[in-house]
Amino acid sequence: MTFPESAAALDDGAVAKLLQVQRLRDRALAGHGRRTAEVAVAIGGAMHADIETLDLLYLAGQLHDIGKLAVTESTLWKPAGLNHTEWREIRTHPEEGHRLVADVVHRDVAAAVLYHHERIDRNGYPYGIDAGTTPLVARIVSVADAFDVMTAGRPYQTAVPIRAAVEEIERCSGTQFDPDVAAGLRKVMVTRGDPRLTPAAPIAGRLEAVPEEIPAPVPAAAAPRAVPAPERAPGGGTVVELSDRAYGPPDPSPADPFERSPSMIRLRRSG
């Protein structure tokens, strides 16, 4: 038997195990996390985040719903809308997830797990605080989660086209979402279309013709690689689940510095 040589190695091992458990219990949930991480990194790149923040975003996207391991399977996998009792159970997952990760991940990642359902207007959960006071990583993951939920759909909810999802997030900016993050998502959609490397079961379509006033797309090699969103909120939002398909990281791109980041390297090794 071998043992970790440092506290950092031990923490990395704990995170890898949590992700493995999530995959084994619910591949759809794991897939949603992967896609949310991809979207979060794409938004971070559009907002000119540094490589360390992109790394945190990728890990936070994958872990944001880890607290759903504490939710009963009958509620988590229910093929229809949730009743009041089931919805209350689902709403415990941010705090349950925070308890799992708080001592093994960066504090901004832990904050994203805890606060990704908070809103700017204080009508979110679990605490009803102003999401504008939470770390940027948490605010970006919140938007990425909502985007993937809306565009992937669920057995009881039809997926919406990418353009419609972006417009809905923009409509809710300033009340539910950070306006700067919503603008970052719009920039990603205009320049790249779907930011996810791992598409959801039905691909929800691409943006139609881009309005003339929007700048022309940047070259694909210049755009930062994206990484993976959400659940049904009281206001009627949506949540996404992943299809049962392989989701190993893509081959590294020399033009993309994120491919050399700790999270991507760690995930590529774990497959």
Task: With CA atoms as reference, report the closest residue to 32 among 144, 168, 111, 121.
Answer: 144
Instruction: Evaluate whether 183 touches 171 at the Cβ level (below 8 Å).
Output: no
Which member of 17, 68, 78, 187 is catalytic?
68
Q: What one-letter code names the amino acid at 119? A: R
Structure tokens given for 202: 């039905």
Please state, in angstroms and rounded to a whole number, the distance separating the CA atoms of residues 162 and 203: 9
Neighbour-count burial for 72-96, b at 16+ CB within 10 Å, e otherwise: eeebbebeeebeeebeebbbebbeb
Any catalytic annotation for residue 78? no
Q: What one-letter code names the amino acid at 65? A: D
Task: With CA atoms as reference, report the closest residue to 148 among 138, 162, 134.
Answer: 162
Angle at which helices 93-101 and 107-115 pack, to 10 degrees? Answer: 170
Active-site amino acid positions: 68
